Every structure is written in structure tokens, then in C-alpha cells.
A = this chain, B = another copy of it.
């Protein structure tokens, strides 16, 4: 080893020891005579001291050290005069006796500090330097810890990790596949898995009983912010279970992660139906760190002279506690917020319940104080509260109000990143109508597509509706939602060949297409498939949630940018004619 100790290891109890340390020069201070160098490695920072009175040549050498030089020193641990409480090694320093430069460094393009001066693109290009910042490295240490805790927890419950293949078959029933041309079978392609879904189901058919895998998945989407073409799932499946068993097991996993990694006790997670989530929060992944439920006002506000409300299918609002003092400017900002194209409301109505008990609204012309009292009653508002109301089409209005609710949560400081509110959303619809999702192939437009995936089982009592009224079939599907983020989702699967065939039929597959793409699974169902179900957690997202961050990118060692490019290695890139020819491809 080129060291006897790490830079985070030495304490007062080590004083007088001869040690060898290796690491990076974090910074160097030249105090006329003495030179102090902060030596950094993954484990911490240790102060080195060079004194010309001890060794003039060595002290001269030390003056030449620049940031990020890699050095090895030997020396003696001594007590530090002015202790530094910011470092665990702050009680000691090293009186250096020998110095060896292991590698030099040119000046980094940005500072290697928690607060860096490097912009996003620059940090992506020099990712290996960005990863030196302890703030980023700690994210990846957290990720490692979460993965290992997950594995050990599931192992104890008899889950076994099974690696499923990465080179599989293109089945573009959902998002687009990345494909891999085969050289040995010219004109044919493998595909990269969007999830190991069919394989984990086959493992259940095989009797593996309890499977998990922390696994890379791939989706060729037009990337939105914070999506990655390759991402990681905690993928799980169980046999001989009912929905409650899955929820209990994986609630247990997440509670264990919170407890073991963050020492937080998470209470029993409530269950909320999809219908209630949409009704009360306009969102299938409600952030329930704060209440601020939707209040429907059709009965309260209709029938006055206010055409906007009278014409609206839905008038619905939220009550922002203690926000009655909002200024005109703040209210204008909120109006602008809901009118942004991506939210699309036509306007915002507000009513202040002033602390003196009076009521004042933006629609005083149509609603007198008596009427506003009725609003307040509906909202269960108190003096000091602000009522915010939107009106319009059902779905669009709920969606817009959901955004407004989250915005108000932010403004009122109700979305504390150190507080975690977890719940299960259950009873999702089985299907949704694809009008023209740009992430799906064009050939899927104007069809019913699976909300979760084509292997999700309908609720037994809704099976009759499959052909009559597909949109109203509920699924045995569930999501775990934490702080408004869907961290995991799953379902009880179909394990009956005929029901699976019906499902493909509803999704517009011909018998031949279904057989060609998923014949192996339907055939497997003929040989004794057990009842089974599972869940997959978005691991990148889970890590960022645990890390208290908004984005996933700094929880991935080498992420791609929003254009799907790795700017550090410059990928994707052209390949040689020789390679193209061998693959039988032309551009």
C-alpha cells in the first residue's frame, strides 16, 4: 500500500505515530515560513505541515505543490495547535518528513469544492473531476449503501437475485426499444430490455418463488429533463401472493431503508385509490407532506352571473393556510403560473379570508361576502387563509390545480426535503387511450394501451368490461408514492393464458402478432403458472429522494445529458465502415 492510513483516519490517539499518507492536494497555504497542505482522499482531509526550520529543501518542494497534485508523504502525527472542528482529523496534523509527487495536475477547469464554479456542461465533460467533489461522491456512497441494504433485506426474505439477459427481443408494445444489430445473424436485431418483465414472470413459472434484481433498463425516449436512456430498477416478483402481500413486503423494504440508512421511522403507509388521488389531489402521485386537498365548488358557486364558473364542467379549489396576506404581486405571479402553456389554465380566482374575518375575492362583482362565507365553509377555511379556485374541463382543471397546489406547497415551505410522507396509490385503470404519445411508435396511435403494461391483471369484478368499456376497467396495480414522487409501481399479473390473449386482443394485437412477440410467455402459462405479482422501484429516483435532491443526475456516476449524449466520452459517435459492413448495415 502506498499509505499506512487514510486521510480520514488519524486522531489524537495516534500522536507520535510514524505514518504514510497518499492523496490529493486540496489546498496549500504558505504562511511565510510554514506551509500547510490539506491532503484529501475519499475518507477525509488531513493537514500536513512543512517547516523550513525542520527541513529547508522539503519545505521548498512543498511550496511547489499545486491543487490536485497526487502526493505521498511520510511523517509523524503531532497535536494541532488550533484544532479544526470541521474535520474529524482536526485535532492532529502531520509533521512531514518525506514527500513524493506521485502525479502532477494541471489546473482543473473548476474548483473541486462542494460549492463549485463549474457550469453543468463543463462538469459533465470533466465528470471525473466533478466526482471528486465530496458532495457528489457522497451521493454515490449513499446509492451503494441503499443497494446493499436492499439486497441483504430481500435475501433474508428468501428472495434470490437472478440476472436476466440484456440482449433480448424487440417488443415495442410500450416505449421504443434500443436495438442491437446481430453480426452473426445479418438483418436481425436484439433489443435492450425496457424492464425484465417477461423474464421475471418466467422465473415465477419456473418456481423461483421470490426474485429480485437491481438491474439496468433502457428506453429510447425523447428525453425530458431528468430522464436517462439507461436507468436502474429494483425489480421484484413473488408467487402465491395477493396484492396485500406485495404491499406489505415492499413497504417493509422501504421502511428498512429509511431506518437503516437515515434512521427515520416511517409509519404504516396509507392506501389511497387512484380515483381518490385524482379527486383530492388531481394527481396519481400526490405529495401528502401537506394536506391542501381539492374542494369541489360546483354546488356552491354555480348559478350566479359569473359565466366562467357557470360554463365550467368543474369548479375546484384549494385553501392555502395562512396565505391571506399574499400581495397583489404574489397573486399575479400565481395567475401567471397557472396560465403558462404547460399548465394551461385560463385564469385564477382567489378569495382572501382576512384575519379580521372579512372576505375579499377577485370576483366580488359576482359573489358578495355572504356567498364567500359559503366558499369558506366549503373549504373549511379560517381567517388568514387564501382560497384559490380554477374552473374548466374536468381533467385539465384538476391537473392545473395539482400544479398550483404543489407550487403553493413550495411557497409555504410545506415540502421539507427532510420529511418523508409515503403512501400506496391503488386501483389504477388498466388501460388508457393513446391519442399520440410521442414516446410511442406511431403505429400505436388511436389505440388502447396498457397503463402499466400488458401483463397487469384486471380486477376480477371488472373483467366483463374489458371489451365493452375498456376505459373503466380497474387493474390490480399499485404505486408507492413518496413526497409526490412515484418511486415504485407494480401489479398482480395475469397468469392465465386465455385472459392474457384477451388482453392482447383489447390492445389491438392480432393473434399472430401476439404469438410472435409474446408466444413464449403465453406458452409458458400452459405449463402451470402460479399466481404472481411484483413491483419495480426506480432506483435512481429513490436515491435522489433519500439524498434530498430534486434531480437524479448526481446520483448516477456517468449520466447522459438531455440529448442522450455522454459528453465526456463523446458518445454516441460514428463507427467505422468496416463495422457497418460486418453488420450488414447502411446508413
Q: What chain B residues lie within 8 Å of A168 (beta carbons)?
A: 566, 569, 571
**A:505-557 near B, CB below 8 Å:** 520, 524-531, 556-557
A184–B222 contact, CB under 8 A? Answer: yes
A163's partner among B108, B155, B216, B566 (CB-CB below 8 A) is B216
A105 interfacial by beta-carbon distance below 8 Å = yes
Considering residues A167, A182, A205, A570, which has the most beta carbons from chain B within 10 angstroms of its beta carbon? Answer: A167
Q: What chain B residues lie within 8 Å of A529 (beta carbons)?
A: 70, 103
Task: A569 to B190: give the CA distance in the assembly, Å.
Answer: 11
In the complex, how many angstroms separate the beta carbon of A78 from the nearest chain B beta carbon?
23
Given known contacts A2-B240, A183-B176, A188-B573, A526 and B105 CB-to-CB distance under 8 angstroms? yes
A172 interfacial by beta-carbon distance below 8 Å = yes
Which of A128-136, A259-267, A305-313, A390-398 is near enough to bind chain B? A128-136
A570–B520 contact, CB under 8 A? Answer: yes
Of chain B, the residue at the smallest CB distance from A205 is B128
A563–B184 contact, CB under 8 A? Answer: yes
B103–A496 contact, CB under 8 A? Answer: yes
Task: A5 to B63: give the CA distance in the assembly, Å.
Answer: 71
B178–A160 contact, CB under 8 A? Answer: no
A161–B176 contact, CB under 8 A? Answer: no
A363 interfacial by beta-carbon distance below 8 Å = no
Size bin of chain A's contact surface = 35 or more
- Shortest 9 CB-CB contacts between residues of A and residues of B: A105-B528, A131-B206, A169-B571, A188-B572, A2-B240, A182-B572, A144-B160, A68-B528, A42-B209
Other contacts beyond A152-B152, A168-B571, A443-B578: 19, CB < 8 A? A23-B207, A24-B530, A103-B495, A103-B529, A127-B202, A128-B205, A132-B206, A164-B558, A167-B218, A167-B229, A168-B569, A170-B579, A176-B579, A180-B180, A191-B575, A199-B557, A199-B558, A216-B216, A441-B579
17 contacts between A and B (CB under 8 A): A41-B240, A42-B210, A68-B527, A103-B530, A128-B205, A147-B161, A152-B152, A163-B556, A165-B558, A167-B566, A167-B572, A176-B183, A177-B579, A179-B579, A190-B571, A216-B216, A586-B586
Which residues of A approach B to under 8 Å, CB–CB? Answer: 1-3, 6, 22-24, 40-43, 68-70, 72, 102-106, 108, 126-129, 131-132, 137, 140-141, 143-144, 147-148, 151-152, 155, 158, 160-170, 172, 176-192, 198-199, 202-203, 205-210, 216, 218, 220, 222-223, 229-230, 232, 240-242, 245, 441-443, 495-496, 520, 524-531, 556-558, 560, 563-566, 568-576, 578-579, 582-587
